[in-house]
Amino acid sequence: MLEAVIFDMDGVITDTVPLHYNAWKKMFEKHGYYFDFNVYKEKVDGKPRMKGISSVATNVDEKTLNQMAEEKQNYFLEYIEKTPPEIFQDTWNFIKELKKYKIKIAVASSSKNTKKILESLKIYDVFDTVVTGYDFIHGKPNPEIFLIAANRLNVSPENCIVIEDAIEGINAGINAKMFTIGIARHGNNKELSHANLVVKSLNEIKLDNLISIFQEAKK
């Protein structure tokens, strides 16, 4: 029985991907590392900040990693001030549909900016719980972040759907024994192909159909 839907934030609820990508690119190139969108999707997107940095900057000490993390965060906050992110309309439509069906909803994001961004969008209180980068120890693909969300919602993990746009997030959802939906907004269908369902937009999903697919997958 479907009881809850857990959303990643960056790239799923809000279009913060360009802001994150530009902040990462500016920081890495300042330190002499090659960085493009493929590197971002493969090594950085969906991961805790320190893990993302160390996957590219493999030859630096912890002090430098911390410095790089602070620089990236400062660049990102600058970009947010200049160009505040907007909510994806397809996601907002889907959230409203879930509310009608009385299905619980949560945000589970590795970002430590999660609360700030959701509040700027005036949707923080829409969710039944919000799990941020401050709330867990083990980053995706470890399932901890999604298991915390399920626990706070008081629902069983197998009765949850996770919606993600990054491979590590899909893997975390699978590891949590949850039904996974991959949103391939950037044409990354192939890397998300192991999700239970892959779409380009949540507008492709009709909730009645999704509940049927979910129930069938649980048999």
* pLDDT, position 120: 85
Residue 46 has pLDDT above 80, yes or no: no
3-class SS at 143? coil
- In this predicted structure, the answer to whether residue 107 has a pLDDT above a threshold of 90 is yes
Per cent of the chain over pLDDT 70 is: 100
CATH number, domain containing residue 120: 3.40.50.1000
Tokens 């001030």 belong to residue: 81
Structure-token pair, residue 89? 């309309």
* Spatial CA neighbour of 20 closest among 113, 92, 106, 91: 113
- The mean pLDDT of 173-195, rounded to a whole number, is 95
Among 25, 48, 82, give the residue marking a domain's end: 82
Please name every residue paired with 104 in a beta bridge, in sequence order, or none if there are none. 4
Entry pTM: 0.84
Q: Check whether residue 103 and residue 71 sit in a common domain.
A: no
In the numeric block, the tokens 């600058």 are attached to 78
Predicted pLDDT of residue 49: 84
Same domain, yes or no, for 141 and 195?
yes
So what's the pLDDT on residue 48? 76
Tell me which of 46-50, 188-192, 210-214 is least confident.
Answer: 46-50
> Do 141 and 211 reside in the same domain of the chain?
yes
91 and 166 in one domain? yes
- In this structure, the answer to whether residues 94 and 171 fall within a common structural domain is yes
Backbone angles phi, psi at 215, to 5 degrees: -65, -40
Q: Do residue 59 and residue 112 come from a single domain?
A: no
In this structure, the answer to whether residues 193 and 170 fall within a common structural domain is: yes
Region 84-104: mean pLDDT is: 95
pLDDT of residue 83: 85
- Give the mean model confidence (pLDDT) for residues 188-196: 94
Domain boundary residue, one of 50, 82, 114: 82
Distance between CA 99 and CA 113 in Å, rounded?
25
Residues 212 and 172 in one domain: yes
Tell me the pLDDT of the chain averaged across its residues.
93
Q: How many CA atoms lie within 13 A of 15 on its CB side?
A: 13
How many domains is the chain partitioned into structurally?
A: 2
Which residue numbers are catalytic? 8, 10
Give the pair of three-digit tokens for residue 133.
């980068």
Whether 93 and 155 share a structural domain = yes
CA distance 191 to 165: 10
pLDDT at 76: 92
Domain, as residue range, for 36: 17-82
| pLDDT computed for residue 89 by the predictor | 97
